[in-house]
Structure 1
Amino acid sequence: MDITVEVKDITSGVEVWVKGEIDAYTAPKLSETLYPLSKREGIVMIVDLTEVSYMDSTGLGVFVGLFKSVRAHNGVFTLVGLSERLQRLFDITGLADIIDIKSHAEGGVE
């Protein structure tokens, strides 16, 4: 499976739409696309995972790294549109307690 990462600049940062599967094969593309953006001072990064059908621990690692980088640069990192399966993955790993996760309806820049 392949992955598509679409990035749109917004006033306060970037909105990102990810489609496909996030695994050991596709995670490097996601990381290469988003990690440089995470270093922007004060960035607001919103990542929409509505069309992600599968994610393994490699994907979780990418999001932990992005979260840490965005926070280190005084930014805000939010995930939106997680399926029940992805939400459960973040819940059981405890990442849902540290990463801001919103439903698709709540997503977007306020």
Structure 2
Amino acid sequence: MDIVVHEATDDTAVLECSGRLNMVSAGAFRETVAKVVEGGRARLVVELSGVEFMDSSGLGALVGCLKTARQAGGDLRLAAPSEQVQMVLKLSNIDKILRTYPDGDAAVTNWA
């Protein structure tokens, strides 16, 4: 999985992900998020339009990263999940916990 980090504001980062978020890549994803949060950006937007496949390990990584962000006083939001990712989120009811937005811009500008 490829992750490109964009610094949106002083405390917000957008992580543009592509590939597969699964057992193989979940650890690297968690490490990237931890580094971003340690760097002072606890508000995270994870852009998932390029993620073609996500399994339960990827789902666990997203939930773990949500916890990491919230413990640092921030939050984690999902932007533009692909069809397969949306299906996994709905089947697991995680879509009730992780807020999704149509794109990264909407997620960044809509912090409540």
Query: Which aligned segments of 4 or more residues in structure 1 are displaced greater than 3 angstroms?
Result: 38-42, 105-108
- Aligned CA RMSD, in angstroms, stands at 1.9
Percent identity, please.
24
CA-to-partner distance for each residue in 1:70-94, whole Å, 9 max, x for gaps?
Answer: 1122212110111222112111111
> In the alignment, is the contact (CA less than 8 A) between 1:41 and 1:74 conserved in 2?
no
Instruction: Decide whether aligned partners of structure 1 residues 105 and 29 sit closer, same or farther in structure 2, where only a CA change above 3 A counts.
Output: closer
CA distance in 2, matches of 1:6, 1:32: 13
Q: Which residue of 2 aligns with 1:5?
A: 3
Aligned residue number for residue 54 of structure 2: 55
One-letter identity of the residue aligned with 1:75: G
Where 1:107 maps in the other structure, the secondary structure is helix
Partner in structure 2 of residue 69 of structure 1: 68
Q: Distance in 2 between matches of 1:43 and 1:86?
A: 23
Alignment of 1:13-52 (within 5 A): 13-39=12-38, 43-52=42-51
Compare 28-37 and 98-107 and name the one that shifted more.
Answer: 98-107
Contact 2:19 2:53 in 1 (8 A): yes
Describe the shift of the 1:4–1:54 C-alpha distance in structure 2 as closer, same or farther (beyond 3 A). same
One-letter identity of the residue aligned with 1:44:
R
Aligned positions, number = 108
User: Unpaired segments of 5 or more residues in structure 2?
Assistant: none
Aligned letter for 1:63? L
Letter in 1 for 2:32: T
With the length of structure 1 as denominator, give the TM-score of the two structures.
0.86
